Structure 1
């Protein structure tokens, strides 16, 4: 079993479920793109135990892992989401979803646009949060490394062999990095356009601000969800993955494009 498959098996397991099934009275979605800090934000929200457990429920890898563990060959999307809501709504009634544009289009896209069900899904949310990263080149470099190593998140205390093994196999591929950079820009602009077209006023979160002032920015987001901003904010639930390799590839890329 690959690391990716194992990760999704863990993400759909009962280990992340709340002890008691609860019907949500407040739903929110985090609009994101790969390597923009959405896992850090979602992890913070999950760690409070008061904001549900926002995961990529509309990622097909997630759905496949759910079907495998449930012994099903297929399931209607509404039934699947109802099951996730039942298991992942916090006792106070909050349920969250983390959603990359690419996954949104994969599920709800049709030739020339989006299914009405997809638009309704976002518009039905009580709160929409949009997280972006200013440094798009660093985001693309991080995305490139994650794809090469198949390591997407590291938890505190988790041993990592990235420095000693995986990084040795990562070469500098400016064409691939440029392609990923373009894809990330397209995803971010697509979310911006979607919100504008459908009169959605999201709560905007900047990755750099979240990292620079984790406590204050976390409290601001909690307040936007109607939660107590004075609660104790747990330490960041995931480890920073950037290493000297990120800085090296970023420097080489900037030199390559003549910046």
Structure 2
């Protein structure tokens, strides 16, 4: 069942998404070689709580952290820990905020210092694919139009789209219907209607699309251990427009590759 949002409910999500965007921006200030990923998690948790929100992730099905931090070949759902970032890494930071009963969700992948051009291009294409997906998330179109546009761009660049993990609706629950795959066929799937709030989140691999789950029960990595990138926005669909509710503005004020 899809829960369509009222304008008032979208207003709440938008307000929480601003807290989320600023939390991302605060974390971005500390992303550099030598930092431990668990320190980034602490920064995010404190910022969100200080600004009237709660972590969407911490405690969700037992997930123990505020951030999903996924480095290099890790695609999503990685644990923060004692790992120290080094020059040449890429790091995906995925975060969600619960504010006044509604969730928002966004992610950004950062290059650490000098990253080789092949991997840097992976990040640029993945980021571009997010916005291509959003351009195709219009009232009256279908879920398949989003996935097709992302897949078409990504595969034309020689990269692969993860199939096992998808975007999703969100609102009072972090994961709601419908699922939003990053692959698909034009004109297929759920029709997009006004009041739909979804997270669009391309996960793109440098190598093959296959992924495996690590022993921690959460971390998903590429099977071939080649790098993967991940970008995400929460968007609201209205009859006359599609609005990006989350923001990467605060990230890109301090860290723009």
Kindly indicate which of the two structures has a greater share of residues assigned to strand.
2
Q: Determine which structure has the larger helix proportion and give its number.
A: 1
TM-score for the superposition, normalised by structure 2: 0.26
TM-score by length of 1: 0.26
Rg (Cα) greater in structure = 1
